[in-house]
Structure 1
Amino acid sequence: MSTADLVLGCMYFGTRTDDATSRAIVERFLERGGTTLDTADCYAFWASGTGAGGQSEEMLGRWFADNPGVRDEVVLATKVGPEPVPGRPGEVVGLAADVVTRSVQASLRRLRTDRIDLYWAHLEDRATPMAEIVATFGGLVADGTVGRIGISNHPTWRVEQARALAAVAGTEPFTALQLSTSYVRPRPDTVVPGKDHRFGFVSDETVDYVTEHPELELWAYSPLIQGSYDRADRPVPEPYDHPGTTRRLAELAYVAAELGATPGQVVLAWLLGGTPSIRPIVGVSSVAQLDEALDAAELTLTDEQRGRLDAAV
């Protein structure tokens, strides 16, 4: 494991996290060996005061412009799909071919770059045929606009459907999957506050699918459940309140004490070193928080410690 395996989440750059702090975080991330930045064209419309996103991409674009040459050091990922449709409350732009074609160009302009290294289909759009989505995203790779394509917040069967369609069409398949997961998990059939994606969580089926398809990289957003492991003022949300969580938090505390680490750091190390390895997306609002997360990539769990963590259910 290394700091290059962690992904820096840039969701609130340019909104809740001001420009100077955002720049300091990105620069520290690169200084310590990080490479991958994850944003989206909809970040963060709910925090912007305008009802529209783009602020995170714009912040990164300004930083690229002010630091010539740094773009080549970065693996840049952004997404399309959930940006609100102006004047239509509750409606999002989706993944139709014309939307994706238009949106990727807008992202390039905001990011002030000529390419996106990894472009994500951010959410499901069942109004658009999957064959159209596959053709559109594959075409972006074929014409050099993006390097790779990923799929987020989709059920496993839709991921397989998309990859099978790409194989038949001879076009670029999705090679990255982004969902939410952590060491503790919510009860089945519960709604987690702020997580309104029906198929947004890693399941046992997800793990099995990715294990059988090692070419498919798995990324995890919200791996630390908004600081719940380490902050007394942020207990785990109610849907996580069940006996399995109690046992897991107890074992996590034991292992953290043995390593002289925080529980959150152990969670990140557990995700990175598991089978399959899961790349955590860390969202931070200060350089100190970033350093703590990056230190986790240098932790080594013994086989015995990992076995105890895995067995706590």
Structure 2
Amino acid sequence: MSRPGRAWKTRTRRRNAGRAHRIGRVAVICLGTMNFGTTLDRAAAFGVLDAFTGQGGELVDTANCYASWIGTGDESELVIGAWHRARGARDRIRLATKVGARPVPGGGLMDCEGLAPATIRSAVEDSLRRLDTDYVDVCFAHLMDPAVPLEDTLGAFEELVAAGKVREIGLSNQDLDSLRRAGGRVSWLQQRYSYLQPMPGASFALQKTLTPEMAAYVRDTPGLTVQGYSPLLSGAYTRPDRELWPHYHHPGTESRLAALRKVAGDAGVTENQVVLAWMLASTPPVQPVIGVSTQAQLADCLAATELVLSDEHLRCLEAA
């Protein structure tokens, strides 16, 4: 097992090129590993991790429940642990996991372990064992747990930070009030987010979206990094066999899709690349958490870090 050699911090570097915005590092993309060890077998997952880190990728995201709906929930963490052990790569990556959403034995997918302090401590120990490490760079509270005071949840995470088992604390699938009450005690926020916006009031069950109000809070809060998961809507931007969820069936979607296609055509890139580049060029920047099943898909996503979106392109995307 590896000890932390230094404190990792996210650095989303932005530099101007004339009147264009450019993201300078592949490291601003986060690799999501939800399907590692289940629908993506170990060999294929190892290949994606090799390609990601080989091209400068650093942050690998998992959870202690991936993918419990088709497996046990252990699979993703076990694969990542096996990979970094085989490659001697623990000190070359930043590793993030989440606790709180693992289904309880005998319960359904919505019957989760929750965020009681004792549960958090036990869940983190189990994750460290599966990940074959004695620390994670970031640990997220995976969901909201109204049965447990937020103060108790944060206190448990802070104990783990003091013990050296967690480097930084994150919140995921939260509301604005929880984020505000957490204040400076957390440094990461991960919410569902993409260029297309769901209709007002649309419910994603336990998943929560990044709202404009939350984005404004992040913009005014130094030291808080925001991530967006499901940025490519399971391939719906580019694959005709993937339909948009009903949440996006409203008039605003067509105007946004038209703008997206125009910018992609003008730039000679894919719609996926425009979505990711738009997220990174936003204020505040939103770090995409990408889930891929092939190295070709990974290469397409990583190319977005070198995509320049002009002010004209950004205005076109925002005006829609």
Tell me the TM-score normalized by structure 1. Answer: 0.92
* Correspondence 1:18 to 2:36: no
* Correspondence 1:273 to 2:281: yes
Cα distance between partner residues in 2 of 1:102 and 1:133: 13
Cα distance between partner residues in 2 of 1:129 and 1:201: 22
* Correspondence 1:258 to 2:258: no
Cα distance between partner residues in 1 of 2:202 and 2:87: 45
Residue in 1 that maps onto 2:198: 186
Structure having greater relative contact order (Cα 8 Å, sep ≥ 6): 2
Q: Secondary structure at the match of 2:96?
A: strand
Find the partner of 1:196 among 205, 230, 254.
205
Q: What stretches of structure 1 of length at least 5 have no aligned partner?
A: 168-172
Find the partner of 2:50 among 27, 31, 51.
27
Summarize deviations over 1:72-106 as a string: whole Å, max 9, x none.
00000000001111123342110111111111111
Residue in 2 that maps onto 1:148: 168
Q: Which contiguous aligned blocks of 4+ residues in structure 1 show a shift greater than 6 angstroms?
A: none
Q: Secondary structure at the match of 1:104?
A: helix
The offset of 1:162, in angstroms, is 2.0
The offset of 1:45, in angstroms, is 0.4
Residue in 1 that maps onto 2:3: none
Aligned length: 296
The offset of 1:214, in angstroms, is 2.9
Residue in 1 that maps onto 2:235: 227
Summarize deviations over 1:239-274 as a string: whole Å, max 9, x none.
212221111110111110111101111000000111
Residue in 1 that maps onto 2:291: 283
Residue in 1 that maps onto 2:118: 98
Q: Secondary structure at the match of 2:287?
A: strand
Q: Secondary structure at the match of 2:76?
A: helix
Cα distance between partner residues in 2 of 1:81 and 1:71: 24
Cα distance between partner residues in 2 of 1:277 and 1:129: 30
Stretch of structure 1 that moved more, 255-264 or 88-97: 88-97
Summarize deviations over 1:98-129 as a string: whole Å, max 9, x none.
11111111111100011100000000111111
Matches within 5 A, 1:1-313: 1=23, 2-48=25-71, 52-68=72-88, 70-89=89-108, 90-163=110-183, 173-191=185-203, 195-197=204-206, 200-312=208-320
The offset of 1:207, in angstroms, is 1.1
The offset of 1:237, in angstroms, is 1.8
The offset of 1:42, in angstroms, is 0.4
Cα distance between partner residues in 2 of 1:222 and 1:284: 11
The offset of 1:197, in angstroms, is 2.1
Q: What stretches of structure 2 of length at least 5 have no aligned partner?
A: 1-22
Identity percentage of aligned residues: 42
Tell me the TM-score normalized by structure 2. Answer: 0.90
Cα distance between partner residues in 2 of 1:196 and 1:294: 30
Cα distance between partner residues in 2 of 1:190 and 1:176: 24
Letter in 2 for 1:84: P
Cα distance between partner residues in 1 of 2:95 and 2:27: 13
Cα distance between partner residues in 1 of 2:247 and 2:133: 41
User: Superposition RMSD on alpha carbons, in Å?
Assistant: 1.1
Cα distance between partner residues in 2 of 1:144 and 1:278: 28
